[in-house]
């Protein structure tokens, strides 16, 4: 009887360990909508988000925004660590520390990658990662440069290389996948969609060249795992994404293409990530290489896991265009105290366990 109980216990431990090893790792992106601290920055000319600035951005408004964001991230993560969270419209290290070190998110052991960029408002991309899942190997910024318009400056693309660690509990040995992450915030449509389409195509070209470089330097037969995410300010079928980046929905697979897991709204759980008048659009996307789609070994995309996260508390009634709209922090100069003008997106990665 004692041997039987011991055998059952061993089987339980092995099963539980295998299940833990095979628990999905979530990878997400969110445009935080003007996530500024409330302090005057004497090094910048743009200080609208300060107490005496045009937006009257007080400490209480900042902390309300911070608290809204951490509650949404906890809900999106299902109270587990998000493996990697790409962000944009982040001002600096202070707001990242306030969000990830000074809220219940602290328990998930997050670290981040952030560089001060050229955006005239001072908002940048950032990569937040769980040290329980990933080890940072290197990071860099990839500057925007358009040879046809050298006077125009836009946000950098943020790059980071990680190792995902999985240990074999029976031997103590480890295996690891290398994951390349690119976080994007392409030029906006503020001056008009047609007037700015070339700028976004330029960003797409820069990104594609970097991905191609990673692919070309890989050993023969190895397919690097590259994940591109961001607010592209274009839809999946727009020229910058579809033609220049050559990102296709997996159902449209063709030689040399990347895989846009948000290329079609079907199966994403919601119509879009932002709303323009009555129309929802998908500007926020996660795009991957074939190595991420390959389920034969290592960490890979869990089929059907791509989602637009849309908790009820992030939406409100749309009295003008009906149905729902985003519960935003501001609309122009008017303060509403909400979350963001974008919804976050995520995918899950899973690892085969034999």
Tens-place pLDDT, residues 207-224: 999 999 999 999 998 999
Q: What is the pLDDT of residue 195?
A: 86
Asked if the structure places residue 16 within a domain, the reply is: no
**Token duo for residue 176:** 């690891």
Q: Is a pLDDT exceeding 90 seen at residue 353?
A: no
Q: Is a pLDDT exceeding 60 seen at residue 21?
A: no
Instruction: Tell me the average pLDDT across 121-135.
Output: 96
Tens-place pLDDT, residues 26-47: 999 999 999 999 999 888 889 9
Cα–Cα dist 106/97, whole Å: 9
Q: What is the pLDDT of residue 105?
A: 98
Q: Are 335 and 56 in contact (CB under 8 A)?
A: yes
Residues 6+ apart with CB under 8 A from 299: 25, 164, 177, 179, 225, 349, 350, 351
Cα–Cα dist 126/234, whole Å: 20
Tens-place pLDDT, residues 231-286: 999 999 999 999 999 999 999 999 999 999 999 999 999 999 999 999 999 999 99
Q: What is the pLDDT of residue 18?
A: 40
- Percentage of the chain beyond pLDDT 90 is 81
Asked if the structure places residue 189 within a domain, the reply is: yes
Vertex 263, ends 260 and 265: CA angle to 5°? 140
Asked if the structure places residue 340 within a domain, the reply is: yes
* Ramachandran class of 122: left when φ > 0, alpha when ψ lies in -120 to 50, beta otherwise: left
Asked if the structure places residue 60 within a domain, the reply is: yes
Find the domain containing 61 and state its range: 23-351
Output the domain CATH number for residue 65: 3.60.10.10
Cα–Cα dist 47/96, whole Å: 19
Q: Is a pLDDT exceeding 50 seen at residue 52?
A: yes
The count of domains in the chain is: 1
Instruction: Tell me the average pLDDT across 291-312.
Output: 94
Q: Is a pLDDT exceeding 90 seen at residue 151?
A: no
Asked if the structure places residue 10 within a domain, the reply is: no
Asked if the structure places residue 46 within a domain, the reply is: yes
Burial class (CB in 10 A: 0-12, 13-18, 19+), 238: buried
Cα–Cα dist 18/318, whole Å: 46
Burial class (CB in 10 A: 0-12, 13-18, 19+), 312: exposed
Q: Is a pLDDT exceeding 90 seen at residue 75?
A: yes
Average pLDDT, the chain: 91
The helix (H) or strand (E) run that includes residue 139 is strand 134-142
Q: Is a pLDDT exceeding 50 seen at residue 112?
A: yes
Q: What is the pLDDT of residue 2?
A: 55
Q: What is the pLDDT of residue 221?
A: 87
Cα–Cα dist 140/134, whole Å: 17
- Percentage of the chain beyond pLDDT 70 is 91
Tens-place pLDDT, residues 173-201: 445 799 999 999 999 998 788 888 999 99
Asked if the structure places residue 84 within a domain, the reply is: yes
Region of poorest pLDDT, from 4-8, 184-188, 227-231: 4-8
Report residue 167's pLDDT band, with 50, 70 and 90 as the boundaries: very low
Tens-place pLDDT, residues 325-348: 999 999 999 999 999 999 999 999
Asked if the structure places residue 163 within a domain, the reply is: yes
Q: What is the pLDDT of residue 169?
A: 43
């Amino acid at each position: 009887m004692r041997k039987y109980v011991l055998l059952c216990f061993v089987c339980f431990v092995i099963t539980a360990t295998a299940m833990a090893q095979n628990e999905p790792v979530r990878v997400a992106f969110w445009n935080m909508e003007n996530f500024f601290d409330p302090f005057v920055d004497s090094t910048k000319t743009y200080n609208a988000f300060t107490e005496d600035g045009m937006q009257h951005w007080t400490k209480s408004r900042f902390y309300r925004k911070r608290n809204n964001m951490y509650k949404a991230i906890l809900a999106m993560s299902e109270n587990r660590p998000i493996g990697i969270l790409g962000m944009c419209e982040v001002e600096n290290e202070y707001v990242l520390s306030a969000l990830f070190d000074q809220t219940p998110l602290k328990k998930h052991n997050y670290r981040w990658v952030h560089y001060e960029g050229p955006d005239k408002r001072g908002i940048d991309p950032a990569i937040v990662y769980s040290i329980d899942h990933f080890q940072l190997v290197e990071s860099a910024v990839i500057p925007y440069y358009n040879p046809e318009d050298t006077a125009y400056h836009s946000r950098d693309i943020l790059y980071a290389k990680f190792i995902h660690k999985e240990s074999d509990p029976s031997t103590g040995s480890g295996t690891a996948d290398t994951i390349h992450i690119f976080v994007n915030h392409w030029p906006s449509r503020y001056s008009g969609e047609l007037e700015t389409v070339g700028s976004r195509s330029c960003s797409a070209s820069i990104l594609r060249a970097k991905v191609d470089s990673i692919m070309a330097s890989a050993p023969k037969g190895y397919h690097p795992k590259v994940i591109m995410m961001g607010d592209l300010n274009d839809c999946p079928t727009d020229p910058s994404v579809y033609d220049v980046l050559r990102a296709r929905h997996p159902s449209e697979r063709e030689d040399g293409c990347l895989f846009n897991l948000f290329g079609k709204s079907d199966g994403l759980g919601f119509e879009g990530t932002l709303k323009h008048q009555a129309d929802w659009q998908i500007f926020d996307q996660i795009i991957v290489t074939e190595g991420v789609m390959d389920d034969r070994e290592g960490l890979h995309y869990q089929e059907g896991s791509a989602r637009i996260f849309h908790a009820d508390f992030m939406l409100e009634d749309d009295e003008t265009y009906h149905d729902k709209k985003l519960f935003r922090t501001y609309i122009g100069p008017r303060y509403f105290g909400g979350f963001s003008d974008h919804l976050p997106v995520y995918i899950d990665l899973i690892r085969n366990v034999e």
